[in-house]
Structure 1
Amino acid sequence: MSFNPPVFEDPARDSFETSLWHETAIAVPRYPKLSGRQKAEVVVIGSGYTGLSAAIDLAAQGKDVVVLDAREPGFGASGRNGGQVIPAFKYDPDGIAKVYGEELGEAVLDMVSKTADVVFDLVRRFDIACDPRQTGWIQAAYGSSGIDKVKSRHRQWQQRGAPVELLERDELARQTGTGLYPLGVLFRNGGTVQPLSYARGMAIAAASIGARILAYSLVRAIEPDASGWRVSTADGSVTAARVIIATNGYNTPIWPGLRESVVPLYSMQIASPPLPPELSRQVLPVVEAMADTRRLVWYFRKDRDHRFVIGSRGPFKARPSESDARTLVEAACKLFPALRDTAFPYRWAGRVAMTTDQIPHLHQLAPGVFAALGCNGRGVGMGTMMGKILAAASMGAERQVLPYPVSELHPIPFHAFHRVGVHAMITCYRMLDQFS
């Protein structure tokens, strides 16, 4: 099989510009570009959380791993997300059991519940300087339907032994500083990281145990080869028996139908300067990360220097304007009226890969070629976990022992018109949220 796509998206069109995470992240090493012909046991395409997690597991097993990225580690959504480590799917446990069946559903639930611990264990193992705080994550109820959802979510996870707690209005307000929500569920094993530092630290960890990280090496073709597969860029190629594709929302058309199996959406964030101590004590004083149950979710947190960060769905562009950020400024002031005189000099966006069923997809695209994508806004924990699963799958783990099902690739019909459909959906969701 050979596929040489005629058109590529240029990742260079994205820019960190006014990103808080870029300003405060640990330094990125100067990784070389791919040049000439090289060999490896496994080629990983994409150096976000998923690809780097897979590379770490493979290199730890002594495998010869090459990681290729169009830019540098963490440049995509792994360096642009909210840094919230969420140990839950968008589906509740009962819903997961319905989707996967009782036996596999329990394995998936067990895997999902461990995603946050996997992140923080990895951080401790390699001493990654990413400001890790496993102080919990709260999902707050928005509207009457949100109350029912939060109660049900708490009950279902509690029945399965997860470290969750239901917070009534007064206790929720005490822990978060906002009285906007009537109810919330606290996942005690959740938390936060500096997302770009986490990605860069993962790359440093992978390289320290033998993985070869190659930057500014945009993959242009994946072709069969006598050794298995040849992965080519403009300046060279790597042949390997196995290939892992971990490009998620930053897919280019290197494999037929893969890019068309997800819908990329932009999630936008803004951030304040460090809040004065008195003000900081009023904003997320106990649990420093939360999100709500809106259809167009508000998610917010503080960083290590007490900056307030809030995000939600953004326009279809990588560089949001001051005008684009206005709705998030208004949201911040609605949550915390004390922020009404606070400036928000930082704003940025990143592409999130969404699937039609709102769950990640794991694919075997051909013998020796695997992909995982579609974390649906749960990328810090789920991406890290999916990388481990990809590593196991690429090394020949039987499907029945994997904690996640391998599914067929199904491109979304009329994918070329996804922006029209998504724009209509967002408009509808925004109206429904206003009347919830």
Structure 2
Amino acid sequence: MPKSISANTKTHGLWETTAPAAPETATLAAEIRTSVCIIGGGYTGNSAALHLAKKGVASIVLEAKEIGFGGAGRNVGLVNAGMWVMPDELPNVLGEVHGDRLLKLLGDAPSVVFEIVDQYRIECQLQKHGTLHCGVGQVGLEELQQRETQWRLRGAPVRLLSAEETAEKVGSNAYTGALLDLRAGTIQPLAYVRGLAKAALKEGATIYTGSPALEVTAEGAQWRVKTPQGSVIADWVIMATDAYTSGPWEIIRREQVHLPYFNFATVPLPEDIRATILPGKEGVWDTKEVLSSFRMDIHGRLIFGSVGALKGVGEAIHRDWALRALHKIFPQIGNVAFEAEWYGQIGMTDDNLPRFHKFAPNVIGISGYNGRGIAPGTVMGRTLAELIAGEKGEGDLPLPVTTPAEAKMRALKEVFYEVGAQAAHLTDSRF
């Protein structure tokens, strides 16, 4: 397979140029039998394969393109705990039992990622220094105060920083405060998913790339997953394609509204400037409705992102805004050039929470991470492996079984998000 994940540099940007090579894989060109067929080679799929292999359950991963081609290879690289929504919203929406289970699972999820990275010595620029959710204005500060209260009642190691403490941590006076979450961290996301795949292969899983699942049909108590040149016969099928789903059970894609998100990476900053920005190496995102995020990689590149697609007129609008915003937040940065730029799609569900679906007997999947794919995808893959191995029943899962349904006004909302982000960034200097 080619070493490059994509000929389009705007899909994977900096991550493709700095990640270790993906493991060697082949295209499926035969009929193979296995216990579990996993469709999708991102965090969920590779984590499920890894954990199934460790339990002695045979599995095959079918990836349509390359490992990490979807959201796993395009995101910001924040290893966060929890979801975007307030902690109390999970039991409010899912019920107390499932809500509390999901909060516990996702609160501990970054530590699972860290353990896998350490155990398999994955080279992915992991930084375990926490994240900063930065408040913009009084409204943003009040939101962070609520988050701190709700997380601390659940024993989470979070702390609200004053404006002065935030300025020291971030290297900017732009924020009214920040919520420091010591459970979290940052990672090179494409390097991590490739390392996760290597770990799964090491434990005995099988991965085929360039092998899209075209059709899934029942054959007695088993399932046949057909690809262009071969097929897999399996007892179980895991759908792990999330926001980039096409083909079988495309309702996973239609259940979600795509929110475009871009990132720009500067050239490595001079040592004296680098020392003034995020000296503690935390990852950052803010409380604005059209939010932005930033973090530093190990080579001193500042990675800065926000909502929007780098295509058409949006490409110039978002690039100009990013330069204005960077200089507004970090006046000390001076003249700076961007070395890489890329964007992808975040799949948003109507309540901003993930879904567990049973598409048919022994055909299951968890999707809808709403921009929190790294840690949740890893632990949800493990959860699916536990279910298939018989270590958990459906009643023990952190999510109830739900029936997928197409998002209302999906196409209109997607146009609104893309055009709305352009409008916001056309005039906004951020603060």
TM range (shorter): over 0.9
Q: Which residue number corresponds to residue 26 of structure 1?
A: 20
Separation in 1 of the partners of 2:191 and 2:250? 33
Tell me if 1:195 matches 2:175: no
Cα deviation digits, residues 27-71 of structure 1 (max 9, x gap)? 112210011111111011111111111111111111111001111
Answer whether contact 1:320 1:348 (CA < 8 A) is retained.
no
- Alpha-carbon deviations, 1:76-109, whole Å to 9, x = none? 2111111111112112222222112223322121
The reply on whether 1:113 has 2:107 as its aligned counterpart is yes
Question: Structure 1 residues 240 and 319 mapped into 2: Cα distance closer, same or farther (>3 Å)?
Answer: farther
1:388 aligned onto 2:382: yes
For 2:401, the aligned partner's letter is: V
Farther-moved stretch of structure 1 (219-228 vs 262-271): 219-228
Q: CA deviation at 1:143?
A: 2.4
Residue equivalent to 1:221: 215
Decide whether aligned partners of structure 1 residues 162 and 196 sit closer, same or farther in structure 2, where only a CA change above 3 A counts.
same
Q: 2:88 aligns to what SS in structure 1?
A: helix
Q: Give the partner amino acid of 2:81.
A: P
Contact 1:266 1:318 in 2 (8 A): no
Q: Which of 278, 296, 300 is matched with 1:284 structurally?
A: 278
Matched, 1:268 2:265: no
Residue matched to 2:401: 406
| Cα shift at 1:302 | 0.2
Paired AA for residue 361 in structure 1:
R
1:415-430 equivalences under 5 Å are 415-423=410-418, 426=421
Corresponding residue to 2:172 among 171, 174, 178: 178
CA RMSD of aligned residues (A): 2.4
Q: Which runs of 5+ in 2 are unaligned?
A: none
Contact 2:263 2:343 in 1 (8 A): yes
Paired residues in the alignment total: 426
Structure 1 unaligned segments of length 5 or more: list them. 1-10
Is the 1:295–1:430 Cα contact (8 Å) retained in structure 2? no
User: Equivalent residue for 1:329?
Assistant: 323
Q: What is the TM-score normalised by the length of structure 2?
A: 0.93
Aligned residues of 1:227 and 1:240 also touching (Cα < 8 A): no
Identity level (%): 35
Q: Distance in 2 between matches of 1:17 and 1:53?
A: 23
Contact 1:18 1:345 in 2 (8 A): no
Alpha-carbon distance change, 319 to 109 in structure 1, aligned in 2, over 3 angstroms: farther
1:139-158 to 2 correspondences below 5 Å: 139-158=133-152
Q: C-alpha separation between the residues in 1 aligned to 2:172 and 2:295?
A: 12
| Residue 350 of structure 1: aligned partner | 344
Within 5 A, what are the aligned runs for 1:80-95?
80-95=74-89
Aligned to 2:69: 75
Conserved in 2, the CA contact under 8 Å of 1:55 and 1:211?
A: yes
Separation in 2 of the partners of 1:109 and 1:318?
Answer: 39
**For the residues of structure 1 that align with 2:9 and 2:225, how far apart are their CA atoms?**
26
| Structure 2 residue aligned with 1:5 | none
Aligned-partner Cα distance in 2 for 1:56–1:304: 27
Aligned to 2:304: 310
Amino acid at match of 1:78: A
Which residue does the alignment assign to 1:47? 41
Letter matched to residue 303 of structure 1 = D
8 Å contact from structure 2 (residues 215, 248) kept in 1: yes
Deviates more, 1:19-28 or 1:384-393: 384-393
